[in-house]
């Protein structure tokens, strides 16, 4: 008896759920016929009836409406002849690949003759454009509204004026409101009322956008016959003032963008050089095969993507530890077999590791072919962050900057805070003393070299997102990396950081003045001269050295 109420509770809950589900289905069924019927009306053969049908569809409050309207405008809306189902079609190998607009169900590929296009005429398209814009401008998401306003700036046309006026009146988000005003202004700039044009130019003030900038420039330009595109002196003066502000803004954002590019190039250099800073700076070993460790990392990314073709989005996350292990192991093997025998003979080490780099390159050429391999960029890495009309930052570069900083930070933590780092620094400072304190110097050497190589592998993962992955990938970075390490001061991670960022940014800013190749030459010459002045780099470790 005691279990009775419990059961009743359970049953009641279940019933409640059932009822709720039923009512949901009922509600959906009630809604669905409306949308279905309105959509079905589009298949009518008469243009006037179809125009009415479109109006009816526009009036629906349904998220499926927008794709239909856009497909209709692009001429991608069809209906299947066999059952009159309205579908969106995209070109496939033979015929189309169609998707049902009502259920969103993929109906597979059909022949070109199985479907019929829902044709539109000029007037309908014009109307559609306005309707689509209006539809987007009342979207709940402010980002969508803002993007829609941005699109309208690019394609000014008087027919958008009424919906813009309405949208401005209803808009509460200040940023979107500003964008909408500018969208209205680009239309009003063609107005024959001087006061409208003046207001339009005032609205454009301070809003960063390439199109408005071009329009204003056009406006104040003097034609060959001495007349201006803008007849009114007053409007022209206002335009010149606004233009000045916008141009100053553009220059500033151009500078920010260059700086960003420079920093991202510097981050790539940092990733490539930081491993070298460990092997060269901490161990004093010149590893000419360092570039090939980067290459191995890039190829590891390629192989990881081959192994998990369905999980491309996650492939980079997997590739980072994989590349670290592959390159790190290769580094340990090289250290144990070759470099171990050459400590204290830096020039010989340089030659032997150069030989290893040739072997690794040829190995990759034999296994993967000498051609470049393409590494897929996951969606979250592609595209760009549109900060405003003048400034957009590509995601891959943004991530690389963050990633490089994380790697540097992690490395510093490892060196300064871990037991292994302590041992490593001890061996660096005084090998004999460390050895007599019971540190296995041979083991520390191998691990240090493995660490440096592993980080090069990680750099390879990052580089695979920026450049082609080929057997020569590493070679192109090795000279730059050495210069960064030497410029920054051997043995100093901070020096490497400053040198890499400095060189990246300097290269970016010299480039427009002198061209890419000459910029590179100038930087090289600068470093050569710099090393002459300060042979121990920017952040030299203080101490007394006899030679070397």
Partner 1 sequence: MTSQARLAWLQSDVGGKRVLAIILAVIIVLPLLNLLVPPDSVFHVSSYTIGLLGKYLCYALLALAVDLIWGYCGILSLGHGAFFALGGYAMGMYLMRQIGERGVYGHPVLPDFMVFLNWDALPWYWYGFDNFYFAMLMVLVAPGLLAFVFGWLAFRSRVTGVYLSIITQAMTYALMLAFFRNDMGFGGNNGLTDFKDILGFSLQADTTKVGLFVASGVALILGYLLCRYVVSSKLGRVLISIRDAESRSRFIGYRVEHFKLFVFVLSAVLAGVAGALYVPQVGIINPGEFSPINSIEIIVWVALGGRGFLYGAIIGAVLVNYGKTFFTGAFPEVWLFMLGGLFVVSTLFLPQGVVGIVQQWKDKRAEQKAHAQGKTGEAVP
Interacting residues with partner 1 (CB under 8 A): 286, 338, 341-342, 346-352, 354-363, 365-366, 475, 479, 482-483, 486, 517-518, 520-521, 524-525, 527-529, 531-533, 535, 546-548
Contact 54, 65 (CB under 8 A): no
* Residue closer to partner 1, measured from CB, 118 or 339: 339
HSE of 31 in the Cβ direction (CA atoms, 13 Å)?
Answer: 13
Rounded Cα–Cα distance for residues 270 and 404 (Å): 7
Q: What are 394's two structure tokens?
A: 């590509």
3-state secondary structure of 398: helix
* Closest separation in Å from C-beta 521 to partner 1: 5
* Residue closer to partner 1, measured from CB, 274 or 352: 352
* Closest separation in Å from C-beta 353 to partner 1: 8
* Closest separation in Å from C-beta 466 to partner 1: 20
* Closest separation in Å from C-beta 111 to partner 1: 49
Token pair 């969508």 is at which residue? 144
* Residue closer to partner 1, measured from CB, 226 or 535: 535
* Closest separation in Å from C-beta 424 to partner 1: 21
* Closest separation in Å from C-beta 460 to partner 1: 20
* Residue closer to partner 1, measured from CB, 407 or 527: 527
Contact 507, 520 (CB under 8 A): yes
The torsion angles phi and psi of 106, rounded to 5 degrees, stand at -80, 115
* Residue closer to partner 1, measured from CB, 312 or 342: 342
3-state secondary structure of 512: helix
Single out the residue of 271, 527, 302 nearest to residue 399, CA to CA: 271
* Residue closer to partner 1, measured from CB, 327 or 361: 361
* Closest separation in Å from C-beta 331 to partner 1: 15
Single out the residue of 288, 212, 280, 198 nearest to residue 245, CA to CA: 212
Give CA angle at 535 (534, 541), nearest 5°. Answer: 90
Question: β-pairing, 384-388 with 391-394?
Answer: antiparallel
Rounded Cα–Cα distance for residues 119 and 159 (Å): 22
* Closest separation in Å from C-beta 265 to partner 1: 17
* Residue closer to partner 1, measured from CB, 217 or 536: 536
* Closest separation in Å from C-beta 140 to partner 1: 55
187-218 burial: b if 16+ Cβ within 10 Å, else e: bbbeeeeeebbbbbbebbeebbbebbbebbee
3-state secondary structure of 502: helix
* Residue closer to partner 1, measured from CB, 144 or 333: 333
Single out the residue of 146, 402, 6 nearest to residue 14, CA to CA: 6
* Residue closer to partner 1, measured from CB, 135 or 354: 354
* Residue closer to partner 1, measured from CB, 282 or 434: 282
* Closest separation in Å from C-beta 269 to partner 1: 14
Rounded Cα–Cα distance for residues 99 and 339 (Å): 62
* Closest separation in Å from C-beta 304 to partner 1: 26
Contacts of 22 by beta carbon, 8 Å cutoff, 6+ apart:
none
Which H helix or E strand runs over 108?
Answer: strand 106-110
* Closest separation in Å from C-beta 300 to partner 1: 21
Token pair 């460990």 is at which residue? 278
* Residue closer to partner 1, measured from CB, 189 or 527: 527
Measured from the Cβ of residue 445, the count of other Cβ atoms closer than 10 Å reads: 23
Single out the residue of 212, 109, 107, 108 nearest to residue 153, CA to CA: 212
Looking at 138-284, list the stretches that DSSP marks H as alpha helix, in order from N- to C-terminal side.
Answer: 142-154, 161-170, 174-188, 194-204, 210-220, 233-276
* Residue closer to partner 1, measured from CB, 225 or 547: 547
Residues in the chain: 548
* Residue closer to partner 1, measured from CB, 368 or 420: 368
Rounded Cα–Cα distance for residues 18 and 488 (Å): 70
Which one-letter DSSP state was computed for residue 540? P
* Closest separation in Å from C-beta 540 to partner 1: 12
């Amino acid at each position: 008896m005691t279990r009775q109420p419990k059961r009743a509770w359970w049953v009641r809950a279940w019933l409640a759920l059932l009822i709720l589900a039923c009512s949901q289905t009922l509600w959906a069924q009630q809604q669905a016929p409306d949308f279905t019927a309105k959509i079905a009306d589009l298949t009518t053969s008469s243009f006037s009836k179809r125009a009415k049908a479109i109006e009816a569809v526009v009036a629906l409050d349904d998220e499926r409406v927008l794709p239909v309207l856009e497909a209709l405008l692009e001429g991608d809306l069809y209906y299947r002849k066999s059952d009159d189902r309205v579908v969106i079609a995209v070109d496939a190998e033979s015929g189309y690949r169609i998707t049902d607009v009502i259920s969103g169900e993929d109906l597979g590929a059909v022949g070109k003759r199985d479907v019929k296009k829902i044709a539109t005429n000029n007037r309908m398209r014009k109307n559609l454009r306005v309707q689509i814009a209006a539809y987007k401008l009342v979207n709940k998401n402010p980002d969508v509204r803002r993007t829609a306003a941005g699109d309208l700036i690019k394609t000014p046309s008087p027919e958008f004026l009424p919906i813009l006026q309405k949208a401005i009146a209803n808009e509460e988000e200040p940023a979107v409101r500003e964008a909408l005003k500018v969208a209205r202004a680009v239309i009003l700039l063609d107005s024959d009322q001087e006061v409208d044009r003046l207001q339009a130019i005032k609205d454009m003030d301070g809003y960063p956008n390439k199109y408005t900038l071009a329009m204003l420039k056009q406006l104040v330009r003097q034609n060959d016959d001495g007349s201006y595109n803008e007849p009114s002196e007053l409007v022209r003066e206002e335009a010149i003032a606004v233009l000045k502000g916008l141009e100053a803004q553009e220059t500033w954002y151009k500078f920010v963008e260059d700086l960003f590019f420079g920093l991202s190039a510097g981050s790539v250099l940092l990733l490539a050089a930081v491993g070298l800073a460990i092997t060269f700076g901490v161990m004093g070993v010149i590893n000419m095969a360092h570039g090939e460790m980067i290459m191995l990392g890039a190829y590891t990314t390629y192989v990881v993507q081959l192994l998990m073709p369905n999980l491309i989005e996650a492939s980079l996350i997997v590739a980072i530890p994989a590349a670290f292990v592959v390159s790190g192991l290769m580094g340990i093997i090289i250290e144990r077999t070759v470099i171990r025998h050459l400590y204290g003979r830096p020039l010989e080490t340089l030659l032997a590791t150069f030989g290893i780099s040739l072997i690794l390159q040829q190995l990759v050429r034999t296994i993967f072919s000498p051609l470049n391999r393409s590494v897929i960029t996951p969606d979250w890495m592609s595209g760009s962050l549109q900060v405003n009309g003048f400034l957009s930052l590509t995601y891959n570069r943004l991530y690389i900057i963050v990633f490089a900083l994380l790697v540097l930070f992690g490395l510093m933590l490892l060196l300064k805070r871990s037991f292994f780092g302590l041992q490593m620094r001890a061996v660096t400072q005084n090998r004999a003393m460390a050895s007599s304190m019971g540190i296995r110097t041979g083991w520390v050497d191998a691990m240090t070299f493995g660490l440096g190589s592993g980080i090069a592998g990680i750099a390879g993962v990052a580089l695979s997102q920026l450049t082609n992955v080929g057997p020569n990938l590493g070679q192109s970075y090795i000279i730059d990396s050495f210069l960064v390490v030497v410029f920054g001061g051997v043995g100093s991670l901070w020096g490497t950081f400053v040198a890499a960022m400095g060189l990246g940014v300097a290269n970016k800013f010299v480039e427009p003045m002198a061209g890419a190749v000459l910029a590179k030459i100038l930087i090289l010459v600068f470093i050569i001269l710099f090393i002459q002045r300060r042979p121990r780099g920017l952040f030299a470790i203080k101490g007394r050295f006899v030679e070397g």
